[in-house]
Amino acid sequence: MPDTRPRRIAHLDMDAFFASVELLSYPQLRGTPVVVGGAKAIVPDHGARFARLKEYSGRGVVTTSTYEARALGVFSGMGLMHSARLAPDAILLPARFDAYRDASRKFKAAVADIAPLIEDRGIDEIYIDLTDIPEATHPLIERIKTAVFAATGLTCSVGIAPNKLLAKICSDLNKPNGITVLTAADIPTRIWPLPASKINGIGKKTAERLQHLHISTIGELAQTPADLLIRRFGPHIGVWLHNAANGIDEHPVITWRAPKSISRETTFERDLHVRHDRAELSQQFTALCERLAQDLARKGYMGRSIGVKLRFADFRLLTREITCPQPICQAADLRRVASQCLKRIPFDTAAHQRIRLLGVRCGSLADGSHSAPSEEPDAARLPTSNTTTPQQGELAF
């Protein structure tokens, strides 16, 4: 017999996660605007004072901000130089990812003790399938929130609904430290008035395209005939938009999935010139390949497709990728294949001379946890040189 009970899915979202972790270390900053910035942010001196946003110089972005900073208009993803104009006296703290990962492990373990069916959605949020737990919703969620607080000292917001799509929307309706329970009957009154962009998967571009069709809210999207959406967005996205707006989502909570790719990238403190800064580019390129190899080794993976990513001074993005006959994981091999990718990049135009970001990626992953050194020479694992296209760029760092 198929199980026809409505599911009970929770989405748990930690409140201003990175900033809240920092406030545990600096409780004197509680109640003030605080911004957590990129790793290259200037470090607060260890004397009496903290760094202020207005003292920052560089290319970092806001990773998280406290609710007091958000009230001044400072949100995640915003350039720090920009946010300094909005909130010059806000405290700027450098991101400490090890501390956040530690807090993340703790809150997830605390939830898992109560409800083990968890889908990881990154460092600060999870879905939980509560369908098979007999306890009533409110006491169960209170118990989970109490356990999260006991394990971390941090609060979270939880949305509970019949599916992941609605649970995700809900967890945002009562922030911070809130609980929102939603049933299918609540959709017209509580979901339909919201902007379409509240649907996870409708970003800036799709929202703009919907706006051109005079669709602003989820309700307006729900009332749009499916065939119109299919004509405008294609069969896949069209059907998905129509279902999502009507609160339909059958995606199960996935407790584990194999990673598809592992990558490393870096934005330079200043744009590097393909020729004039070649030595530095080469050094950074090697370092990225070495870090990627370390990540692969630590996680026990090898990969067949190796790619590079470049962002130029004008912010345009370009990628190249090569698939090897056999998976590789050694830094020197990664560098060799990634170099071949670079040789296919046209560095001839002025716009392609100044590089802002360089990245190296490894995809088509295979288990590399017991990758004994190959009997074959390394060259056997790499694409043969006569399969590469004629060189476009004259250099490969």
Partner DNA sequence: TCTGGGGTCCTAGGACCC
Tokens 């007091």 correspond to 68
Return the residue of 25, 183, 223, 319 that touches DNA, per CB under 7 A.
319
Helix H or strand E segment including 228: helix 226-245
State whether residue 111 is helix, strand or coil: helix
Which of 155, 216, 266, 284 contacts DNA by CB under 7 A?
266
The secondary structure of 126-150 as a DSSP string is EEEE-TT--S-HHHHHHHHHHHHHH
Report in angstroms how near the CB of residue 134 gets to DNA at its nearest: 29
Using DSSP bridges, classify how beta strands 179-181 and 62-65 pair: parallel, antiparallel or unpaired.
Answer: unpaired
155 is a contact residue toward DNA (CB under 7 A): no
H/E element holding 62?
Answer: strand 62-65
Site for DNA contains 352 (CB under 7 A): no
- Cα torsion angle, 367, 112, 199, 240, sign: positive
Q: Which of 68, 125, 135, 269 is catalytic?
A: 125
Per-residue contact string for residues 34-53; x = within reach of DNA by CB under 7 A: ----xxx-------------
Mention every residue, 6+ apart, whose C-beta is less than 8 A from residue 321.
Answer: 305, 306, 307, 308, 341, 361, 363
State whether residue 12 is helix, strand or coil: strand
Q: Is 305 in the site for DNA (CB under 7 A)?
A: yes
Select the span of 28-36, 45-53, 198-206, 241-249 touching DNA (CB under 7 A): 198-206
Residue 125 known to be catalytic = yes
Stretch that binds DNA, among 185-193, 196-204, 243-251, 279-287 (CB under 7 A): 196-204
Q: Which DSSP symbol is given to 61?
A: B
Q: Cα angle at 311 between 78 and 397, to 5 degrees?
A: 140
Q: How many residues bind DNA (CB under 7 A)?
A: 62
Distances, alpha carbon 239 to alpha carbons 47, 133, 216, 252, 397, in Å: 58, 32, 18, 18, 46
Choice from 32, 76, 131, 371 touching DNA (CB under 7 A)? 76
- If one asks whether residue 300 binds DNA (CB under 7 A), the answer comes out as no
Per-residue contact flags (x/-) with DNA for residues 110 to 149, judged by CB under 7 A: -----------xxxxx------------------------
Residues 6 or more apart whose CB falls under 8 angstroms from that of 145 comprise 155, 156, 158, 177, 179
Return the number of the residue (133 or 232) whose C-beta is nearest DNA: 232
With binding defined as CB under 7 A, does residue 322 bind DNA? yes
Decide if residue 59 touches DNA (CB under 7 A).
yes
Is 298 a binding residue for DNA by CB under 7 A? The answer is no
Is 204 a binding residue for DNA by CB under 7 A? The answer is yes
Angle, helices 278-299 vs 331-342, to 10°: value is 130
Q: Does the protein bind DNA through residue 295 (CB under 7 A)?
A: yes
Can residue 207 be called a binding residue for DNA (CB under 7 A)? yes
Nearer to DNA, 39 or 150 (CB): 39
Q: Which is nearer to DNA, 133 or 198 (CB)?
A: 198
Does residue 168 belong to the site contacting DNA (CB under 7 A)? yes
Question: Which stretch in 46-54, 144-152, 194-202, 242-250 sits in contact with DNA by CB under 7 A?
Answer: 194-202
186, 265, 280, 378: residue in contact with DNA (rule CB under 7 A): 265
Q: Quick check: 60 binds DNA (CB under 7 A)?
A: yes
What is the spatial distance between Cα 355 and Cα 38, in angstroms, rounded to a whole number?
20
Minimum Å gap between C-beta 199 and DNA is 7
- Please state the separation of Cα 82 from the chain's center in Å: 22
Say which residues have a Cβ less than 8 Å from residue 238's Cβ, sequence separation at least 6: 226, 229, 230, 231, 232
The helix/strand/coil state of 367 is: strand
Positions marked active-site: 125
Question: Which residues make up the interface to DNA (CB under 7 A)?
Answer: 38-40, 58-61, 63, 76-79, 81-82, 85, 121-125, 168, 199-207, 234-237, 257, 259-267, 295, 304-305, 307, 315, 317-323, 341, 344, 356-357, 359, 364
